[in-house]
Structure 1
Amino acid sequence: MTKTDAVPEGGGGRTPLVELDDVSKYYGNIRALEGVSLEVHAGEISCVLGDNGAGKSTLIKIIAGLHRNDSGSFTIEGEEARFANPREALDRGIATVYQDLAVVPLMPVWRNFFLGSEPTKGVGPFRRMDVDLMRATTHAELLRMGIDLRDVDQPIGTLSGGERQCVAIARAVHFGAKVLVLDEPTAALGVKQSGVVLKYVAAARDAGLGVVLITHNPHHAYLVGDRFVLLKRGAMSGSYTRDDITLDELTRQMAGGSELDDLRHELEGRGPA
């Protein structure tokens, strides 16, 4: 299987929402990323796969505005992006959902949904949070994504890991994100909960967002992905569209490709100890 620059049918040759071209990042003499390229189109899911230490976290931080790339180009809808902080990235429509979700477990679901962006009513000393609006909006937005919670007043810590991920996705959609970056959303979940989260990842794509799914699980990536970028030790080891790679080949690439074949031959060739 060879690397390809082909654009899948969903991209249609349109300007990507986010594009990284030959991006590198160094911390002193340590190479975190080198020569990495990624396209994120509206209505598509771009999956970034790699083991621990592959450079996935550094890539997330560049897109989210936490770090700046040292070389290469990072553009948003064709314009060069140089973020000073994550707020600037959010203002440009890039919402990042980290693995720890940054929720307050004892606060209700509606409070976490609006955390940091609470609507208010009243003026002057009578100004206060509009709790009724936040409750109603949270329930309606979750329902629009297909999430029917019994009670948005329950502490978010009482929800399952999959449900908390889904709340975070619905929040990003509500606040107008164009690009949704998901950091290993299924890493700590079982099979059933992972399926629930992937369903809502697909729902975000169907709502017109460009999604970046960071994962080390090729099976999860292939279920929903349109593009696949494989990272190994900070460099790209492959870039494919869905039409250009099978699940078996994607899994083989993630497992080490030729290195895995060499190991198998070596183990098969060994006699009993």
Structure 2
Amino acid sequence: MNIVVFIKQTFDTEAKIVLDANGKIDTNGVNLIINPYDEYAIEEGIKLKEKFGGEVTVVSMGGQRAQEAIRTALAMGADKGVLVSDPGEGIDEFSVAEILAKVVKDIPHDIVLAGRIAIDDGGSQIPVRVAEALSIPSVSSVLKLEIAGTLATITREIDGGTELIEVSLPVVVTAQKGLNEPRYPSVAGIMKAKKKPLKTMTLADLGFSAGDLKMVINQYSLPTPRKAGRKIDGDAAQAASELAKLLREEAKVL
């Protein structure tokens, strides 16, 4: 079975976001990790390989530092990695999906796995957009995945419960917490990961140019800090009158 896993390198959930003078996120000294939901996808891909044979290819898009995330996935048990590295980082989900779909088209794939959401931007769009670009079905927020021949039986989370779906391969699946328990890389796995193939590609290698990108993020800005609260003194009638005045004249919500 040929398995492709999308991963994204994100900030540690404890990291403090700082912007540099150019409005870019400063990653100096910041700990970067594999998006936690993508870890479930990696684990599921490895489990499928262990059960059915084949290989797991990890695909990521980002700067050269993203190699760290791919090497971690290789240490967990994935077989090879592909990094799309280009100065055009920070592009929108549509463009990322088109680029990743182009990568996957050149890789044999029976199933494509990814985390259900990225903890940094919360977009939750790229896997389903890739499925659309590849003209294959997708199932999101998966809690259980069983494969028999060319048929996948999938339990997915929905509002208020779960849903059972049967779908033919190939399929794109996004992993939800509870699908499995991701393994830690072993010392032997870390050593083996150093020798596993990791291919680096640019957008030009895939036939894309800057003009093909629909949107590029040039600058970020932090939200305006919230002002401290105000205490209104006086009895209830006076306080209510003063509050209504402030809401009308200052907050302008009345």
Q: Which has the higher contact order (CA 8 A, sep 6+)?
A: 1
With normalisation by structure 1, the TM-score equals 0.27
